[in-house]
Amino acid sequence: MTDSPRPERMHAISAETRHTVDDVLEYARRRALYEDIPLDKPMRPHDLARLASGSITDDGIGARRAIALFENVLAPACLSTDHPGYLAFIPSAPSKAALAFDVVVSASAIYGGSWMEGAGAVFAENEVLHWLAHEFGLPATAGGVFVQGGTIGNLSALVTARDAARHRSREAGRPDPARWAVVCSAEAHSSIASAAAVMDVDIVTAAPDAGGRLHGDAVAAALDEHGDAVFAVVATGGTTNFGIVDDIASIADETTARGVWLHIDGAYGLAAMLAPRMRPTFAGVERADSVIVDPHKWLFAPFDACALIYREPALALGAHTQKAEYLDTLTETPDWNPSDLAVQLTRRARGLPLWFSLATHGTEQYRATIEHGIDLAQQIADEITRRDTLSLVRDPQLSVVVFRREGWTLADYQAWSDRLLEDQRGFVVPSSHAGEPVLRFAIISPLTTYELLTDILDTLG
């Protein structure tokens, strides 16, 4: 008969606890320092059920068995998004410094929601946010918060925008419209529609040009038609499917003239502004009321982190600060509380791994690494045009390359993609454009090489 569990057992500094921490940190060290990162692949549910079921028991299976189960069964059933051949969706390629410090963030039990509880962490996060705001041309008074991802960032910004519009309407003596609306491109990320659904507002799509780029004239037409019902316009700083940057300057002309909130969804692409030669492409970002960029995409941080920045943070405070008696000690002070700036209360200090990596490597290293992705995208696009069986769908603007294999159907693409992953050469899944199945390379990792990409192209025949 086993002894009854002691309440303090999980938290006490005992020999058992020391062994557990040592074993976990040793595995983390091995994984972070893999020189040959495994791509791996998903397993079928019945295979995982056969190999991994039974880990949750009354008495526990012990740390070493649990780590062995994760390392040998569960982890290989997860694709490594930092593998240089992971080219689907938008990959992640966290720096080793950011990965290592993510462990510190967890080990430190830091609460990142308020200044009172996490002043040092909040200060460090704000250092990063102020640097990003400066890079984007926003005023020194701009500020924000790191949230989970682009979906939460876009939602939080749009909630703030609607709240600001309501205040303007009431100050002007106008009633709220029957339905609020947000204007965005037909090419906008799906999270905008998701945010609109959560907020119970309408989406008004403005038509982009033939190249997928939204311009001010299309936005003006939408604003003319829907008038005061529009509380925000969303421009995209690098679409997910193609990496297209909207004509933000001409869109800003229209929103500024009409007093409508301009939000920039730069989850993937806005990081390209760190490359000096790309800044003209993003002209107009400096006039935005809010922007987002995801460090877990092209700023080499681990999941999950989205930097949400407001031109006037006070407007976000008005929209998001939660009121409760137990929170009075926080909300009745002028302190910078990140939880007051987005649709969240409890929050991890998720900006710290990026802060540590930036502090370690410096901003010039970041600029050079981002430029690598842009240059490599153009190089492989040129190679695609030289091959008779392949053709570009559009020239790359950032680091996404979309192309087709002439004569192939969706079934052909899927069968090829499955073989590529089965052979552990790469992860490239079919996408689509205007109803046509296509392929795309999303290049993020500095470990992705021209040779790796051409090797993948060779498999297309």
Torsion of CA 194, 255, 249, 209, to 10 degrees: 60
pLDDT band at residue 1 using 50, 70 and 90 as cut-offs = very low
- How confident is the model at residue 350, as a pLDDT? 96
DSSP code per residue over 390-441: EEEEE--SSSEEEEEETT--HHHHHHHHHHHHHTTS-B---EEETTEEEEEE
User: Structure tokens of 177?
Assistant: 């419209």
- How much is the mean pLDDT over the chain? 95
Q: Report pLDDT for 302.
A: 96
**CA end-to-end span of the chain:** 65
- The pLDDT assigned to 185 comes to 96
25: tokens are 């940190």
Distance of CA 357 to the CA centre of its chain: 17
Task: Please state the pTM of the whole predicted model.
Answer: 0.94
Question: Is residue 182 predicted with pLDDT exceeding 50?
Answer: yes
Q: How many residues would you count in the chain?
A: 461
pLDDT tens digits for range 354-383: 999 999 999 999 999 999 999 999 999 999
pLDDT at 3: 64
What average pLDDT does range 93-103 have in this prediction? 96
With a cut of 50, say whether residue 195 has pLDDT above it.
yes
- Mean of pLDDT values over 115-137: 97
DSSP bridge pairs for 402: 394, 440
pLDDT at 10 over 90: no
* Burial classification of residue 346, based on how many CB atoms lie within 10 Å of its CB (0-12 exposed, 13-18 middle, 19 or more buried): exposed
* Residue 5 confidence (pLDDT): 78
Could you tell me what percent of the chain has a pLDDT over 90?
Answer: 90
Query: In this predicted structure, what is the pLDDT of residue 288?
Result: 98
Phi, psi of 145 (to 5 degrees): -160, 150
pLDDT digits (tens, 9 = 90+) for 200-218: 999 999 999 999 999 999 9
> What per-residue confidence (pLDDT) applies to 301?
97
Mean pLDDT of 313-328: 86
DSSP 13-44: --HHHHHHHHHHHHHHHHHHT-SS--------
| 124 has a pLDDT exceeding 50 | yes
* Tokens 């909300």 belong to residue: 331
pLDDT digits (tens, 9 = 90+) for 45-63: 999 999 999 999 999 999 9
